[in-house]
Structure 1
Amino acid sequence: MNLPMRVTIIPIDKFCAVDGVGFVGVDITSIAIDVHAVQWFGTWGEQEILDLKTGRIERNEKIQSLDTYQSVLNSYWKIRTAHDVAEREAINEQTIIEV
């Protein structure tokens, strides 16, 4: 797997997208409670940090790596792989062979 060029993680929605393909239901339990969102832009990214008292975004912190979010990405790829397999199987079932 190549390093993704674009990643978006929105913990409250249990959402993760990699290079434009997103899924909900991703395991986000490893993410700190004050992280509102994560954006990755290929070689760097930002995490939006909430003020837990007000619920508002307090600041953006630059990140140099996705290592902190690897378990989220692992969950994402598990969901995406299962989706891709199911999609291929559905296409195969719909294929009609004419004789």
Structure 2
Amino acid sequence: MGEGQFEVAEGHLNRLNQLDDELLTAVESGDEQAFRAALASLLEAVREFGSPLPDDSLEPSDLILPDAEATVDEVKAMLRDEGDGLIPGLPG
């Protein structure tokens, strides 16, 4: 949210799912420090493994990630809406 769209190759989904699991654990524990670290790691991995799409491109998105300033409660609501995590494709 707020950074545009990225295309991430399927080969990186395992790593993104691991980071998603860490974020889920941090959200469930309510540990703000662990939450901030897990969210930052997930967002950084998407930037590292993903290829940004042009700003004028609007492709269907498989997922929407929270921005770096999201609160635990906002991410908790997103996780509740998504089910088992934010990253689709593979079980966590």
Higher relative contact order (CA 8 A, sep 6+): 2
Task: State which structure, 1 or 2, has the greater radius of gyration over its C-alpha atoms.
Answer: 1
State whether TM-score is above 0.5.
Answer: no
Q: TM-score, normalised by structure 1?
A: 0.27
Q: Greater strand share, 1 or 2? A: 1
